[in-house]
Amino acid sequence: MHIIRTATTVLSPIALLAALTACDGGSTPAPSATKPAASGAATLPAGLVSRGAVEGPGVGAAKATAKVGQPITVVGRIGGSENPYVAGRAVFTIVDPSLKSCADAGDADHCATPWDYCCESRESLKKNVATIEIAGADGRPLPIAVRGLEGLDPLATIAVTGTVTEANDAGLLVIRATRIAVK
Protein backbone atom coordinates (compact mmCIF):
# COMPACT_ATOMS: atom_id res chain seq x y z
CA MET A 1 0.00 0.00 0.00
CA HIS A 2 2.89 2.37 0.85
CA ILE A 3 4.42 1.82 -2.60
CA ILE A 4 1.14 2.73 -4.32
CA ARG A 5 0.79 5.93 -2.28
CA THR A 6 4.40 6.91 -3.06
CA ALA A 7 3.95 6.22 -6.78
CA THR A 8 0.76 8.29 -6.85
CA THR A 9 2.47 11.19 -5.06
CA VAL A 10 5.33 11.18 -7.58
CA LEU A 11 3.25 10.60 -10.71
CA SER A 12 0.48 13.16 -10.03
CA PRO A 13 2.74 16.22 -10.54
CA ILE A 14 4.28 14.57 -13.60
CA ALA A 15 0.84 13.95 -15.09
CA LEU A 16 -0.12 17.58 -14.43
CA LEU A 17 3.08 18.84 -16.07
CA ALA A 18 2.44 16.63 -19.10
CA ALA A 19 -1.10 17.99 -19.44
CA LEU A 20 0.08 21.61 -19.23
CA THR A 21 2.82 21.12 -21.82
CA ALA A 22 0.71 19.18 -24.32
CA CYS A 23 0.29 22.27 -26.50
CA ASP A 24 2.98 21.06 -28.91
CA GLY A 25 0.70 18.58 -30.65
CA GLY A 26 0.80 15.93 -27.94
CA SER A 27 -2.27 14.34 -26.46
CA THR A 28 -5.04 16.69 -25.41
CA PRO A 29 -8.06 16.23 -23.20
CA ALA A 30 -11.43 15.53 -24.78
CA PRO A 31 -13.40 18.63 -25.82
CA SER A 32 -15.95 18.02 -23.07
CA ALA A 33 -13.19 18.47 -20.48
CA THR A 34 -13.23 22.25 -20.91
CA LYS A 35 -16.75 23.57 -20.71
CA PRO A 36 -17.57 27.22 -20.16
CA ALA A 37 -17.68 28.32 -16.55
CA ALA A 38 -21.10 27.95 -14.99
CA SER A 39 -23.06 30.97 -13.91
CA GLY A 40 -21.58 32.34 -10.69
CA ALA A 41 -18.28 30.50 -11.27
CA ALA A 42 -14.90 32.18 -11.64
CA THR A 43 -14.68 34.65 -14.49
CA LEU A 44 -12.01 36.45 -16.43
CA PRO A 45 -10.59 39.68 -14.98
CA ALA A 46 -12.82 42.69 -15.64
CA GLY A 47 -11.77 44.61 -18.75
CA LEU A 48 -9.43 41.91 -20.06
CA VAL A 49 -11.62 40.99 -23.03
CA SER A 50 -13.27 43.48 -25.35
CA ARG A 51 -15.12 43.27 -28.68
CA GLY A 52 -13.95 45.16 -31.72
CA ALA A 53 -11.23 45.43 -34.31
CA VAL A 54 -8.30 43.05 -34.11
CA GLU A 55 -5.06 44.54 -35.37
CA GLY A 56 -1.47 43.48 -35.25
CA PRO A 57 0.92 41.01 -36.82
CA GLY A 58 -0.05 37.37 -37.22
CA VAL A 59 1.51 34.70 -35.02
CA GLY A 60 4.13 33.70 -37.62
CA ALA A 61 5.45 37.25 -38.07
CA ALA A 62 5.43 37.92 -34.33
CA LYS A 63 7.45 34.78 -33.60
CA ALA A 64 10.30 36.05 -35.75
CA THR A 65 11.05 38.94 -33.37
CA ALA A 66 9.55 37.85 -30.03
CA LYS A 67 11.88 38.09 -27.05
CA VAL A 68 11.17 37.01 -23.47
CA GLY A 69 10.07 39.94 -21.32
CA GLN A 70 9.02 42.14 -24.24
CA PRO A 71 5.50 43.48 -24.78
CA ILE A 72 3.77 42.02 -27.83
CA THR A 73 0.52 42.18 -29.76
CA VAL A 74 -0.40 39.27 -31.99
CA VAL A 75 -3.46 38.26 -34.02
CA GLY A 76 -4.66 34.69 -34.38
CA ARG A 77 -7.59 32.31 -34.33
CA ILE A 78 -8.22 30.02 -31.39
CA GLY A 79 -7.24 26.53 -32.47
CA GLY A 80 -4.30 24.39 -33.41
CA SER A 81 -5.45 21.06 -31.98
CA GLU A 82 -8.62 19.08 -31.37
CA ASN A 83 -8.90 20.84 -28.02
CA PRO A 84 -6.84 24.05 -27.95
CA TYR A 85 -7.76 24.75 -24.30
CA VAL A 86 -5.95 23.41 -21.23
CA ALA A 87 -8.53 21.80 -18.95
CA GLY A 88 -9.32 23.92 -15.91
CA ARG A 89 -6.72 26.58 -16.74
CA ALA A 90 -6.88 29.92 -18.55
CA VAL A 91 -4.49 28.69 -21.24
CA PHE A 92 -5.20 28.13 -24.94
CA THR A 93 -3.51 28.24 -28.34
CA ILE A 94 -3.99 30.50 -31.33
CA VAL A 95 -3.01 30.03 -34.97
CA ASP A 96 -1.87 32.63 -37.49
CA PRO A 97 -4.92 33.85 -39.45
CA SER A 98 -3.11 33.20 -42.75
CA LEU A 99 -3.51 29.45 -42.20
CA LYS A 100 -6.74 27.88 -43.37
CA SER A 101 -8.79 25.89 -40.91
CA CYS A 102 -10.82 22.97 -42.15
CA ALA A 103 -13.91 25.22 -41.90
CA ASP A 104 -12.31 27.43 -44.56
CA ALA A 105 -12.24 24.48 -46.99
CA GLY A 106 -15.85 25.18 -47.96
CA ASP A 107 -17.12 21.71 -47.09
CA ALA A 108 -19.12 21.96 -43.86
CA ASP A 109 -19.08 18.18 -43.38
CA HIS A 110 -15.33 17.89 -43.97
CA CYS A 111 -14.26 17.91 -40.34
CA ALA A 112 -15.99 17.70 -36.96
CA THR A 113 -13.28 19.85 -35.31
CA PRO A 114 -12.17 22.38 -37.96
CA TRP A 115 -10.17 24.36 -35.38
CA ASP A 116 -7.62 21.53 -35.23
CA TYR A 117 -6.18 22.66 -38.58
CA CYS A 118 -5.71 19.03 -39.60
CA CYS A 119 -5.48 20.10 -43.25
CA GLU A 120 -2.25 21.99 -42.47
CA SER A 121 1.13 20.31 -42.09
CA ARG A 122 2.55 19.90 -38.59
CA GLU A 123 5.57 21.99 -39.62
CA SER A 124 3.33 24.85 -40.80
CA LEU A 125 1.35 24.73 -37.55
CA LYS A 126 4.52 24.72 -35.46
CA LYS A 127 5.69 27.93 -37.16
CA ASN A 128 2.31 29.60 -36.73
CA VAL A 129 0.96 28.71 -33.27
CA ALA A 130 1.29 30.52 -29.95
CA THR A 131 0.15 29.70 -26.43
CA ILE A 132 -1.85 32.33 -24.57
CA GLU A 133 -2.15 32.33 -20.79
CA ILE A 134 -4.26 34.52 -18.55
CA ALA A 135 -2.55 34.75 -15.18
CA GLY A 136 -3.56 35.90 -11.75
CA ALA A 137 -1.60 38.21 -9.43
CA ASP A 138 0.64 35.24 -8.51
CA GLY A 139 1.77 34.88 -12.14
CA ARG A 140 0.15 31.47 -12.55
CA PRO A 141 -2.62 30.74 -15.06
CA LEU A 142 -6.06 31.30 -13.58
CA PRO A 143 -7.75 28.03 -12.57
CA ILE A 144 -10.74 28.47 -14.89
CA ALA A 145 -11.85 26.97 -18.18
CA VAL A 146 -12.02 29.79 -20.73
CA ARG A 147 -13.71 28.02 -23.63
CA GLY A 148 -16.78 30.05 -24.51
CA LEU A 149 -16.15 32.84 -22.00
CA GLU A 150 -16.57 36.32 -23.49
CA GLY A 151 -16.31 35.01 -27.06
CA LEU A 152 -13.20 32.85 -26.58
CA ASP A 153 -14.62 30.12 -28.80
CA PRO A 154 -12.81 27.81 -31.22
CA LEU A 155 -11.87 29.70 -34.42
CA ALA A 156 -12.61 33.11 -32.88
CA THR A 157 -10.25 35.72 -34.31
CA ILE A 158 -8.55 37.62 -31.50
CA ALA A 159 -5.76 40.13 -30.91
CA VAL A 160 -3.74 39.45 -27.78
CA THR A 161 -1.62 42.09 -26.10
CA GLY A 162 0.70 40.96 -23.34
CA THR A 163 4.23 39.97 -22.42
CA VAL A 164 6.32 37.19 -23.93
CA THR A 165 7.05 34.72 -21.14
CA GLU A 166 8.70 32.02 -23.27
CA ALA A 167 10.17 31.95 -26.77
CA ASN A 168 12.74 29.72 -28.38
CA ASP A 169 14.16 28.58 -31.71
CA ALA A 170 12.14 25.36 -31.55
CA GLY A 171 8.95 27.33 -32.20
CA LEU A 172 7.64 27.94 -28.69
CA LEU A 173 5.91 31.26 -28.04
CA VAL A 174 3.98 31.85 -24.81
CA ILE A 175 2.25 35.16 -24.16
CA ARG A 176 0.78 36.28 -20.83
CA ALA A 177 -2.26 38.29 -21.92
CA THR A 178 -3.08 41.69 -20.48
CA ARG A 179 -5.76 42.53 -23.10
CA ILE A 180 -7.70 40.46 -25.62
CA ALA A 181 -9.84 41.92 -28.41
CA VAL A 182 -12.38 39.52 -29.94
CA LYS A 183 -13.55 40.22 -33.49
Query: What is the rounded distance in angstroms from the CA atom of residue 177 to the CA atom of residue 83?
Result: 20
Half-sphere exposure in the Cβ direction for 78 (13 Å, CA): 25
115-164 pLDDT, tens digit each? 888 888 889 899 999 999 999 999 999 999 999 999 999 999 999 999 99
DSSP 18-50: HHHTGGGTS----GGGSPPPPTTS--PPTTSEE
Q: Which residues contact 64 (CB under 8 A, 6 or more apart)?
A: none
- The CATH number of residue 93's host domain is 2.40.50.200
User: What is the extent of the structural domain holding 119?
Assistant: 2-182
* Full-model pTM: 0.75
Short-list 176, 41, 148, 39, CA closest to 85: 148
Domain count across the chain? 1
The alpha helices in 50-183, defined as continuous H runs, are: 59-65, 122-127
How high is the pLDDT of residue 138?
93
Summarize the confidence of residues 6-12 as an average pLDDT.
36
Give me the amino acid identity at 33: A
